[in-house]
Structure 1
Amino acid sequence: MRFKKQKRHRKTVRFFSVCFEFRQPFKVLCDGTFVHHLLHNDLIPADKALSDCLSAPVKLFTTSCVLAELKTLGASQSASFQAARKLAIARCDHEKRVSADACIAEVIGENNSEHFFVATQDADLRKKLQKVPKVPLIFGLRNALFLEPPSKFQREFAQSSEEKRLHMTDKEYKALEKRTTSILANADAEDSSDEEGLGYHSPGLLPHNTRNYAGKERDIKDRVRFKRKKAKGPNPLSVKKKKSHENTSLASGKEAKGDDGNAQSKRKRKRSRRALLRMARSSSIILVICED
C-alpha cells in the first residue's frame, strides 16, 4: 500500500513539473490547520515529513495573516503559533489582517506564479483551489501525508496549453508572412538584375546549379561524396593457373630433340688447371724428343 502511494505521488509531482515547470526545492505554503495537524500527529520535523511525501527537498512558507490568526486563538494554539513562526514568510501585502484561507487564495492568485504547493486541512479551501490550474494540494490523514492527484480541470488546462504551444500565434504568423514576402521580393529583384547583367546573386539566394558551380571553382565540396565500390575479381591466390597448350608443345619438342642428338648434346668434360699443366708438360717433352 505504501509503495502504491509513493508511486502515485511521484506521478503527480512529475505532472506538475512537466506541465507547469515546478522545480526543486519545492515551495510548500502551509496554513494553521496543517501546522496543528503536524504537531498533533507528531509528524516532525515538518520539512522531513513533506520531503518524504514529495520525494524531493522542500522549503516551508506561511503568511503573516496565518500567524495573526493563530495568535488570536490563544493558548490552545500557542504551540502551533510557535512552530509556524519558524517558517519563512510569504509576502501577502495585507495592511489589515484577513482570514487565512482568503490570504492564501490571494497569494496563489489565478496562475500561482510562485509555484507553491498548498498544504491545508481545510476541505473548502482545497475544493476552491482545485479550480486554479497550477496548484498541487497536500493534506494530512492521521499520521500520513497525501498529495492530491490533479483535478479534471487541471488536466484539461494542461492539454489545451500544450495544444496552443504546437500552433503559431497570430503575431508569429504575421511575422513569418512578412519575412517570406520580403525574401521573395529580394529574389525577384536579383533575378531581374541578373538578366540585365547589372548584378550578381548573393550566396544565400543562388540557384542550386550556380551554387554547385561556384563551389567547384573554389575547390569546395557542397555535398559529401562517397566512393563507389567497384566490382572486384576473385582472389588470385585462390584461383588455379590455366595450363597453356603452347608450353606443353614446346616442352615435348625439346624432349624429342634431346633424344635424337645425344652425341651433340653430350656435355664436355671440364678439366682442371693441374691436368692442363700436365698435358702441356707432356707435349713439350714429346717435342724435345722429336727434335733430337
Structure 2
Amino acid sequence: MRQKRSKSYKKQMLVYKNTFKFRLPYQIICDEHIIEETYTKRYNLLNNLNKILQPNIIHASNGSKQETDEASLNPKKTLKLFVTQCSMQHIYETKNEDLIEFVKYNFERRRCNHDYKDPKTSEDCIFSITNVTGKKDENEVIKNINNMVIGTNKHKYIICTQDINLRRKLRRVPGVPIVHFMNSNVLLLEPISDTSKQYSENFESQKLTHGLNDSKNAGFKRSVEQMNNSAAPTETPLPVIKKKSTNNPNPLSVKKKVAKVPVHEKNEETKSESTEPAKKKRKRVRSKKNSSATSEDKEDDKTLKADTSA
C-alpha cells in the first residue's frame, strides 16, 4: 500500500511541477487545528511531509548533483512551513505558551493583510491567499461555492488543513495540493481535483495545437467569421539599423592631395613657353685691375722662358 501511495503521490507532484510550475522550496500553509494536533501528539510534521511530497526525487530530473543527493538536501531547505497572521492570532488566544513557542520556532509568519484585532477564520483567511483574483468576490458573504469567483494559486501554496469546508472550496481552484490527517496519525495527499485535471489536459492539448502546429501557420483556409474575429496585429515598424561611422585617419600622417590640372591647360602652358624668346645670357665683364695683372704675368713668363733657353 505504501509503495502504491508513493507512486500516486509522485505522479500528482509531477503534474503540479510540470503544469503549474511548482518549484523548490515548497511553501506549505498550515492552519491552527493541524498545528495543535502535531504539537499534542509530538508528530514530526516536516519529515512526514517530505516523505509524501518527495521533493528530492521529483526535482532530480534537472540533473544537478545537489538535487540527486538525498543527504545533501535537508527537509528544512526543500520545505517551508507557514502560518497566517489570523491563525497565529487564534493560537495566541489559547494562551498556551509552550504551543506559542513551538509555532515561533518551527513556522514562519505569512502576511494575509487582515486586521489582527478582528482576525478571520482559517477558512476565509487561507482561501483568500490561495484563490488570487483581480476582482472582488461578491459572494464572499453568502459563501456560495458554486457562484464564487475562481482565481489561481499564484504563489504556489500547498495547504495542510483539517477543515472540510476549506478543502471543498480549494478543490475548485486549479493547482492547489491539499494535505490532511487520516486516522489522526497518517498524512495523506488528496488526489488531483477535477478542475486541476481539466486545466492540465487543456495545457497539454495546447502544446499540440499551438506554435507551428497551429492551423493559422499551417496554411489552412479560415472562414470569414474567424478572419473577422481574429484582429490583425498592428504592424510595428522595423528598427532602423545605424551604420557604424568609420573613423577618419590622422591628417598629419596623410599625404596632401595634389590638384590635378586638366590636359588642355597643360598644352596651353607648354605652347606659351615655346613662343616666348629665349633670354640672352649676360656676359661677365672683367675689371681693369684683373686685366692688367694678367698682362704682367704673361710678360714675366716670357722672360723666364728666354732665360732658361740661354
TM-score norm. by structure 2 comes to 0.51
Q: Distance in 2 between matches of 1:55 and 1:23?
A: 12
Counterpart mapping for 1:57-72 below 5 A: 57-72=78-93
Q: Are residues 1:116 and 2:157 paired?
A: yes
Q: Are residues 1:101 and 2:123 paired?
A: yes
* C-alpha deviation, 1:79, in angstroms: 4.3
1:134 is aligned to 175
Q: Distance in 1 between matches of 2:79 and 2:93?
A: 28
Q: 1:200-227 deviations in whole A, cap 9, x for unaligned?
A: xxxxxxxxxxxxxxxxxxxxxxxxxxxx
Q: Distance in 2 between matches of 1:151 and 1:79?
A: 37
Q: Distance in 2 between matches of 1:115 and 1:3?
A: 26
Shift of the 79–173 alpha-carbon distance from structure 1 to 2, 3 Å rule, reads farther
Matched position secondary structure for 1:128:
helix
Q: Does structure 2 retain, via aligned residues, the 8 Å contact 1:32–1:84?
A: no
Q: Are residues 1:149 and 2:191 paired?
A: yes
1:229 is aligned to none
Q: Distance in 2 between matches of 1:143 and 1:150?
A: 22
Matched position secondary structure for 1:83:
helix
* C-alpha deviation, 1:119, in angstroms: 0.3
Shift of the 148–80 alpha-carbon distance from structure 1 to 2, 3 Å rule, reads farther
Q: Distance in 2 between matches of 1:5 and 1:88?
A: 29
Structure 1: gaps spanning 5 or more residues: 184-292
2:220 is aligned to none
* C-alpha deviation, 1:98, in angstroms: 1.2
Counterpart mapping for 1:16-95 below 5 A: 16-44=16-44, 46-56=45-55, 57-75=78-96, 78-86=97-105, 87-95=107-115
* AA partner of residue 81 (structure 1): I
Runs (4+) off by over 2 Å: 39-42, 78-86, 160-175
Matched position secondary structure for 1:20:
coil
Q: Does structure 2 retain, via aligned residues, the 8 Å contact 1:42–1:143?
A: no
Q: Does structure 1 retain, via aligned residues, the 8 Å contact 2:29–2:160?
A: yes
Q: Distance in 1 between matches of 2:160 and 2:4?
A: 21
Q: Distance in 2 between matches of 1:115 and 1:38?
A: 23
Q: Distance in 2 between matches of 1:80 and 1:132?
A: 32
Q: Distance in 1 between matches of 2:230 and 2:83?
A: 41
* C-alpha deviation, 1:172, in angstroms: 9.5
* C-alpha deviation, 1:164, in angstroms: 4.4
* AA partner of residue 98 (structure 1): K
* AA partner of residue 119 (structure 1): C
How many pairs align?
A: 177
Q: 1:124-178 deviations in whole A, cap 9, x for unaligned?
A: 1111100000211001122221111111121012222443454379999844x95
Instruction: Select the structure that is richer in helix.
Output: 1
* AA partner of residue 91 (structure 1): R
Q: 1:44-73 deviations in whole A, cap 9, x for unaligned?
A: 2x3222112211221111111101012223
1:206 is aligned to none
Q: Does structure 2 retain, via aligned residues, the 8 Å contact 1:139–1:147?
A: yes
* AA partner of residue 145 (structure 1): L
